[in-house]
Amino acid sequence: MIYSELHNILSSKTIHLKSGQYLFTQGDSVKNIYCVNKGRIKLVRDTFEGTPILIHVAYAEESIAEASLFSKKYHCSAMAGTNTEVIVYSKDELLKILQENPESMMNLLKQLTTQVRDLRMLNETKSIYSAKEKVLTYLSTEFHRDKDSDLPLKDIAQKIGMAHETFYRTLKILENNGKIKRNKSHIKLTNL
């Protein structure tokens, strides 16, 4: 998780959310920073006009609201997408520790740079129109091997911005073409 080493220093508590329950609501003042331990949390933004939009889905080991470390209010709402376990840290305490402890701040900085890079990569993957190309590009990224390896296919489909039906089909085609191999739910590029 993003605060691995800090976890021992910081006081924390664990809370359990039922699917559909809210962790916080857009506009609430930012008191806490969270880390998903199990399950998933959807970040949803209420727009003045019309339907709320999904901003992000955080899975196990992912921290959320660190983007709100410097905000007064949450700019989105967080809802459990399934029964979920979340670790809670105090924002103020975290900020204090970071200030006293440049090394851990540097560490957090590092994690954020990685996040930025991953997000950019994902962003451009999403720009690819062709399903085959998109899937191959996604599979060639690091975060597929690392973090995403145990995500349901359906969720991966959503992550890269394609209908899950299309994703299943595309995987099959690529498999038949010998471009990828699958055993159980682990997918591997053939080349390299």
Contact residue for DNA among 154, 181, 186, 188 (CB under 7 A): 154
Q: How far is CA 121 from CA 31, 89, 126, 166, in A?
A: 31, 29, 9, 21
Q: Pick out residues in 20-39 that bind its own copies (CB under 8 A).
A: none
Q: Angle at the Cα of 8 (from 3 to 9), degrees rounded to 5? A: 90
Asked whether the beta carbons of 3 and 60 are under 8 A apart, the reply is no
Q: Which residues, in sequence order, are bridge partners of residue 144?
A: none
The answer to whether residue 122 forms part of the interface with DNA (CB under 7 A) is: no
Q: How far apart are CA 179 and CA 57, in angstroms?
A: 29
85 phi, psi to nearest 5 deg = -115, 130
The answer to whether residue 181 forms part of the interface with its own copies (CB under 8 A) is: no
The answer to whether residue 16 forms part of the interface with DNA (CB under 7 A) is: no
Identity of the residue, 14 or 29, whose beta carbon is nearer to its own copies in the bound complex: 29
Closest distance of CB 95 from DNA, Å? 34
Q: Pick out residues in 93-132 that bind its own copies (CB under 8 A).
A: 98-99, 102, 105-106, 108-110, 112-117, 119-124, 126-128
Closest distance of CB 36 from DNA, Å? 15
